[in-house]
Amino acid sequence: MMNTYDRLNPFSSRIVDRYLLTKDGSTKKTYHLALSLDGSQISYQPGDSLAILPQNDPDDVDFFLKGVRCTGEEEIFDHRSKNTFSLRSYLLCKANLHRANHSFLRMLHERSSSPDLAELLLRENKPKLVEFLDNETPADLLNTFSKVLVSPQEIPSLLLPLLPRFYSIASSQRLFPNEVHLTVAAVSYTTNKGVQRHGVGTHFLCERALLEKTVVPLYIQPSHGFALPADSNASIILVGPGTGIAPYRAFLQERLSRKAPGRNWLFFGERNRSSDFYYEEFWLELQQQKRLHLDLAFSRDGAEKLYVQHNMWKQRKALWAWIEEGAYFYVCGDAKEMAKDVEATLQKIAASEGGLSDEDARRKIKEMRAEKRYLADVY
Ligand SMILES: Cc1cc2nc3c(=O)[nH]c(=O)nc-3n(C[C@H](O)[C@H](O)[C@H](O)COP(=O)(O)OP(=O)(O)OC[C@H]3O[C@@H](n4cnc5c(N)ncnc54)[C@H](O)[C@@H]3O)c2cc1C
Ligand SMILES: NC(=O)c1ccc[n+]([C@@H]2O[C@H](COP(=O)([O-])OP(=O)(O)OC[C@H]3O[C@@H](n4cnc5c(N)ncnc54)[C@H](OP(=O)(O)O)[C@@H]3O)[C@@H](O)[C@H]2O)c1
């Protein structure tokens, strides 16, 4: 099968199943989603990601239209895609309505002569400018500087493009030939000005898109190396707190369906066991069948934080033995803190269990990366 779909020519899918993985009492909302690939001929491998082209919230579109005093019926030409759109559908599908850029601010400044904007646009005020842009959407600004006139045709060159969102695929196509599954954490937060905001992609996928009805444009983003070992006898160590667990569901489904004899070890972590143990039955059943070593770190159940890397350290002897016997090591999920801490812990284990100096331990991880035995998919 060939994948002929891409950002400019996505497949029109629909969500066929969606349910909360987090249970009552959870402090977050993480969803399982199944999207249809019927009629697409799309193929994917465990480790690949799915790219979704989301739509903005229609309320955000209406607020922007109010700011530019347009109806949405106006026809505009988009230079990026070289297509003509109604202004409403352009704002819905093509424009980043959450973040203004420099040209947008410069235009406002030139047309309003606002001294506040002049000060912000000075280079010395970079942190202030970033904070300002975190809080003020283009529509907020247009509604504040309401005397500024913007013509419909100018809009595409004033707004940033709406970019695809990527999600690790959480299913094996051997089990679900016409579906692709995702594990999506809904993003919602309150700005410094007290305004409640939702992430564009997750709000579209988790709340707004209607099951079986709303078109969800998508394409496959192949992984570059983050894949199961070709040798089905190889052992795999999977570290994936939070949504980082998604590709490992695909890995295990694939390995079970191929009856791969290699050993599997999962380090999962989330906030609370009673509400945030994603795909609990699947993992516990595999553990019971002795197909999976499972180490769980629920960070908010005890008096002190327990993270995946703390369990790695507790299990350092066995973990190092697996690595020395040729196991592949995977890490997936948060890039800002977790992935760095996990790498530092593995390095510490290499030093303590492998009897290596800090420098040699660092070199060991580097070698594993070069051999594609240390694989990361972090975001
Ligand atoms: C290869 C890859 C795989 C991924 N896999 C998954 C996956 O399996 N599951 C998953 O859920 N996600 C995954 N992601 C992340 C996903 O692509 C999106 O980035 C995420 O869903 C947020 O998108 P959004 O459109 O909802 O949010 P956006 O509209 O893009 O909003 C996010 C932005 O909101 C702002 N923001 C967010 N929180 C706060 C806050 N508390 N305070 C202030 N500002 C804030 C920040 O500016 C942030 O950049 C993956 C990313 C990559 C690159
Ligand atoms: N807006 C939202 O609602 C929201 C919520 C969560 C995450 N996010 C963002 O979405 C991305 C993915 O989040 P996610 O839902 O997959 O979960 P996540 O935020 O990565 O959290 C998953 C688990 O990892 C723990 N953790 C925190 N810091 C860690 C570290 N340094 N090392 C190891 N584990 C650590 C968390 O504990 P603690 O949280 O108890 O410290 C939690 O138990 C992250 O980049 C995060 O910033 C957004």
DSSP 123-165: GGGHHHHHHHHHH--HHHHHHHSTT----GGGHHHHSPBPPPE
Ligand 2 mean position, distance from CA 103 (Å): 34
Domain spans, the chain: 11-42+166-221, 58-158, 236-378
Ligand 2 mean position, distance from CA 334 (Å): 7
Question: What ligand is nearest to the CA atom of residue 180?
Answer: 1
Residue 147 has which token pair? 């005397």
Atom 17 of ligand 2: nearest residue by CA position: 242
Cβ atoms 35, 68 nearer than 8 A: no
Return the percentage of the chain with pLDDT > 90, whole number.
90
User: CB 130: neighbour CB atoms within 10 A?
Assistant: 10
Atom 19 of ligand 2: nearest residue by CA position: 242
Q: What is the CATH number of domain 236-378?
A: 3.40.50.80
User: CB 348: neighbour CB atoms within 10 A?
Assistant: 16
Ligand 2 atom nearest 300 alpha carbon: 40
- CA 344, 348, 354, 356 torsion-angle sign: positive
pLDDT digits (tens, 9 = 90+) for 123-153: 767 888 888 999 999 999 999 999 999 999 9
Q: Is the pLDDT of residue 322 over 70?
A: yes
pLDDT digits (tens, 9 = 90+) for 157-216: 999 999 999 999 999 999 999 999 999 999 999 998 899 999 999 999 999 999 999 999
Element (H, E) at 35: strand 30-36
Residue 229 has which token pair? 């070992």
Ligand 1 atom nearest 170 alpha carbon: 8
pLDDT the model gives residue 127:
86
Tokens 């109010």, located at residue: 66
Phi and psi at residue 196, in whole multiples of 5°?
-80, 125
pLDDT digits (tens, 9 = 90+) for 233-289: 999 999 999 999 999 999 999 999 999 999 999 999 999 999 999 999 999 999 999
For 188, the 3-state DSSP assignment is: strand
pLDDT the model gives residue 3:
79
CATH topology of domain 11-42+166-221: Elongation Factor Tu (Ef-tu); domain 3 (2.40.30)
Q: What is the CATH number of domain 58-158?
A: 1.20.990.10
Cβ atoms 314, 352 nearer than 8 A: no
Calculate the alpha carbon distances from 344 to 140, 178, 309 in Å: 43, 40, 9
Question: Is the distance from the beta carbon of residue 379 to the nearest atom of ligand 1 less than 6 Å?
Answer: yes
Cβ atoms 81, 10 nearer than 8 A: no
Question: Is the distance from the beta carbon of residue 55 to the nearest atom of ligand 1 less than 6 Å?
Answer: no
Whole-prediction pTM value? 0.96
Ligand 2 atom nearest 28 alpha carbon: 3
